[in-house]
Amino acid sequence: MLKCLNAIIISSGLFFAAWSDAASSEKFGLGRLATQQEIKAWNIDIRPDGSGLPKGSGSVVTGEEIYLEQCASCHGEFGEAVGRWPALSGGEDTLKDDDPVKTVGSYWPYLSTVWDYVNRAMPFGNAQSLSVNDVYAVTAYILNLNDLVDDDFVLSRSNFKDIAMPNKGGFYNDDRKDTEIWSAREVCMSDCKKHVEITARARVLDVTPEQEAKRSGREQPTNKSKAETSQEASLAGENVKLLLRGEKVFNKCKSCHALGESAKHKIGPHLNGIFGKAAGQQTGFKRYSKSILLAGENGLIWDNRNLTEFLISPKKKVRGTKMVFVGLKKPEDIEAVIYYIRSADKE
């Protein structure tokens, strides 16, 4: 009996030990050690002191080639920007103006920011696809567009810190607490001013998006993707698996091309009705390259074969196309995305 009691005490002691208050202890024993390979895969950030920069180099000349192929469709051939995409060059001495132009040359304080951002986030829709040397080259070309380096310049890890950015001294730390706004603590409650006049009206500008009539009773909001919706209606003869795959592949296209009911032209034309049409024929799209227009005039029809060849390598199929896309490697992806593009025409 006594032994038994002891056993209970001992076991309950163990029980309590396993219950020690975790919140008060420093460590929880969670997670595992990261491997050097894992850290290398994700730890790509660059700092102004150059730490994080990998070995490599790239010239203005190479950078121009890559830039024209992969960047110019949004940022403009000379970094001047297309539409509302960011300008990368120009804007010197405009920071005090009514309409300042903030570019790498006129505003960015550190070159490391350019290298880091091109490397981590560009090209838009195909991030982290450039090689180390390509990133050096594109960075060198952007410097060249801003007249900060000569045409024969080669950027590398060793000369990186020699580049002086024009607006490096243009920043200071948050000083809101030193302003009169911060210290204006008196609160007026009555007769605070004599006259009040309207000085500006939003309607004059008329830039507010239109709003549908209230309580229009439109259909239920839905989170379903197009493919999912079709999945339910698979009796319509849709190859749902192919459609789903195509929808996924189309994610690579959608930063430049829209598809479906409310599709509009973006950087590239919308793709509704493109299948079976001659190249360069989307109504209202004004930014076709000469090569695409010429190819259309010479009889290039976007049929299955031509689209497939174009999607394998756009620049091989139509030399001089502005379409910035390396191409699709897997035949299944190409089949799926063509099927997906065609599905928009069946609606």
Residues 129-148 close enough to bind other proteins by CB under 8 A: none
Rounded distance, CA 70 to CA 265, Å? 19
Only one residue has tokens 């995409």, namely: 85
Task: Verify binding: residue 125, other proteins, rule CB under 8 A.
Answer: yes
Instruction: Tell me if residue 301 falls in helix, strand or coil.
Output: strand
Among 217, 237, 284, 299, the residue binding other proteins under the rule CB under 8 A is: 217
The single residue among 150, 152, 162, 212 that binds other proteins, judged by CB under 8 A, is: 212
Q: Does 261 bind other proteins (CB under 8 A)?
A: no
**Contact stretch for other proteins (CB under 8 A) within 132-140, 199-207, 226-234, 289-297:** 199-207
Contacts with other proteins by CB under 8 A: the residue count is 95
**Among 1, 5, 164, 192, contact with other proteins (rule: CB under 8 A):** 192
Site for other proteins in 307-346 (CB under 8 A): none
18 binds other proteins (CB under 8 A): no
Q: CA torsion, points 296, 293, 323, 81, in degrees to nearest 10?
A: -160
Q: Site map for other proteins, 74-113, x if CB under 8 A?
A: x-------xxxx---------xx-x-x-x-x--xxxx-xx
The footprint of other proteins on residues 295-314 (CB under 8 A) is: none
CB of 297 to other proteins, least distance (A): 30
**Considering only CA atoms, which of 135, 161, 160, 113 is closest in space to residue 58?**
135
> 15 vs 42, which CB is nearer to other proteins?
42
Cβ neighbours of residue 94 closer than 8 Å, sequence gap 6 or more: 100, 101, 106
Please, what is the Cα angle at 240 between 272 and 253, to 5 degrees?
40
Restricting to residues 32-51, name those near other proteins by CB under 8 A.
32-34, 38-39, 42-49
| CA distances (Å), origin 20, targets 11, 12, 24, 30, 47 | 15, 13, 9, 16, 43
Q: How far is the CB of 74 from other proteins (least distance, A)?
A: 7
The nearest distance, CB 129 to other proteins, in angstroms, is 10
Rounded Cα distance, 238 and 236, in Å: 6
Find all residues with CB under 8 Å of 141, minimum gap 6, and list them: 60, 63, 64, 66, 67
| Among residues 2, 18, 207, 236, the one that binds other proteins under rule CB under 8 A | 207
Closer residue to other proteins, CB minimum distance, 113 or 291 = 113
Among 18, 23, 164, 236, binds other proteins (CB under 8 A): 23
Task: Enter the tokens of residue 64.
Answer: 């121009």
Q: Rule CB under 8 A: is residue 188 a binding residue for other proteins? A: yes
Residue placing its CB nearer to other proteins in the complex, 203 or 346: 203
Phi, psi of 301, deg, nearest 5:
-105, 140
Which residues from 62-81 bind other proteins, rule CB under 8 A? 74
Cβ–Cβ under 8 Å, residues 106 and 91: yes
| Residue 54 and residue 158 in contact, taking contact as beta carbons nearer than 8 Å | no
**Please, which of residues 157-186 interact with other proteins by CB under 8 A?**
170-176, 179-182, 184-186
Q: What is the DSSP letter of 316?
A: H
Which of residues 254 and 315 has its CB atom nearest to other proteins in the complex?
254
For residues 50 and 94, give the distance between their C-alpha atoms in angstroms, rounded to a whole number. Answer: 28
Q: Is 70 helix (H, G, I), strand (E, B) or coil?
A: helix
Measured from the CB of residue 78, what is the shortest distance to other proteins in angstroms?
18
